[in-house]
Structure 1
Amino acid sequence: MLTDSVSIVTRTEVRRQSRARGYAVLDVETTGLDPYRDRVIQVAIRQISADGVTESVWETLVNPGAGVDPGPVEVHGLTSAHLAEAPSYQEVAATIAHHLRGRVFVAHNAAFDWAFVSVESDRAGVRLEVLDWLCTMRLAKVLALEVADKSLATIAAYYTVEQLKAHDAGDDTRVAAEILLRELADATKIGVALPLVACNTARHRVERTVRRWFSRLGPARR
């Protein structure tokens, strides 16, 4: 199985790349933890320019399909009734791809969010034009922040960013975007390069296809 490769680049290269690309900060809520067996039920994206300006805010609920259990309602608060009139991922896949196109993908625990969005987009037949991701959790470790843990809530508190509704994709994306800006400022101040992770090479796409195929062979979970 392939593993993500971390590309540590110089400050000059990071600035050059960011000027050209900017950031797309994303969060998803899902029916479970396995991107090959579970589904996205809410997604939010904030486009942030390289100089820290919010360029757009977009979010939607996602209907995972008839009869699909919405998962841990006690965590995300989304019931089947909430999702019944929402569009399917297939219906919003092109919009998601548009908001991500050409940008650095950013999330808190980015491996999780990228896995779900990339697999759902593959399933919908929509290509994501993303090269790499930047994880605000991983960046907190690189910055050696003096915090008890690297959860979104803990790092938000460290940077005095107020959380209004935890486990809501829209608010979690807002919080992650504010954390990103503070972390980028700290990284520049102390001369730390950004831990960009290559995530969407041809080999990654082939691996996702193979894993999706094998996931169909297992017993249905819902």
Structure 2
Amino acid sequence: MTTTESRGRGQAQGNPRGYAVLDVETTGLDPYRDRVIQVAIRQIAADGTEESEWETLVNPGAGVDPGPVEVHGLTSADLAGAPFFRDVAATIAQRLAGRVFVAHNAAFDWTFVAVESDRAGVRLEVVDWLCTMRFAKALALDVPDKSLATIATYYAVEQLKAHDAGDDTRVAAEILLRELADAERVGVALPLVVCNSVRHRLKRTLRRWISILPRPRR
């Protein structure tokens, strides 16, 4: 067992479901109009040990602009031979099933993955998410901001390739374990947020329908 794993072990035992730490890179910021182009998932067991890691590029579709290449570094040529989201949706669902969904700025990553899964007709068996950014706020960490890079520096977690889903997921997973240890030490409850109720699914469906309507001309 590594040092990182052991630091998160105590509090992780309070969650028998385990965690699925996820990060996505996308063509833009609107989950109802933009698309996922890279996704990575790390499964963390209830005892804080890492179980698996998985990642893939995702083809957003013919003619879809990959978005801010200067940020994520992924070009149309990089994505041309990648699977479509519908081809990996079942794998993603299996890796998330029954676990707490974890991401840094979880609302962003969760909504993108949930909307893409809705399009693919795949149901995600996820109840709630745990945001490592919100967790940092709950712990009142003495940092100037709550960005992934800043929290990583605070916990001495090395970033190797920012805005790469695989490395960002590794960093978020290590941050999670350190936050779990700190939460156990100071008695802070996990800031879990329900994210996939019937109401949430209906709201996503409605917004997805609205998003395909033509935008009004200015």
Question: Under TM normalisation by the shorter chain, which class is it?
Answer: over 0.9
**Deviation (angstroms), 1:113:** 0.1
Runs of 5+ consecutive residues of structure 1 not aligned to the other structure: 1-12
Does 2:98 align with 1:102?
yes
| Partners of 1:218 and 1:37 in 2: CA distance | 11
> 2:162 maps to what in 1?
166
TM-score by length of structure 1 reads 0.91
Q: Which amino acid aligns with 1:185?
A: A
Matches within 5 A, 1:118-133: 118-133=114-129
- The 1:113/1:46 distance shift into structure 2, 3 A limit, reads same
> 2:194 maps to what in 1?
198
> 2:44 maps to what in 1?
48
- The 1:54/1:15 distance shift into structure 2, 3 A limit, reads closer
| Equivalences, count | 207
> 1:68 maps to what in 2?
64
> Which of 26, 31, 34 lines up with 1:35 in the alignment?
31
| Partners of 1:200 and 1:169 in 2: CA distance | 23
TM-score by length of structure 2 reads 0.93
**Deviation (angstroms), 1:15:** 4.7
> 2:182 maps to what in 1?
186
**Deviation (angstroms), 1:90:** 0.3
**Deviation (angstroms), 1:52:** 1.0
Q: Which amino acid aligns with 1:83?
A: L
DSSP 3-state at the match of 1:156: helix
| Cα deviation code 1:63-101 (max 9, x no counterpart) | 000000000000000000000000000000000000000
Q: Which amino acid aligns with 2:170?
A: R
Native 8 Å contact 1:14 1:193 kept in 2: no
**Deviation (angstroms), 1:50:** 1.3
> 1:9 maps to what in 2?
none
Q: Which amino acid aligns with 1:140?
A: A
Tell me the percent identity.
80
> Which of 204, 208, 212 lines up with 1:216 in the alignment?
212
CA RMSD after TM alignment: 1.5
Native 8 Å contact 1:14 1:194 kept in 2: no
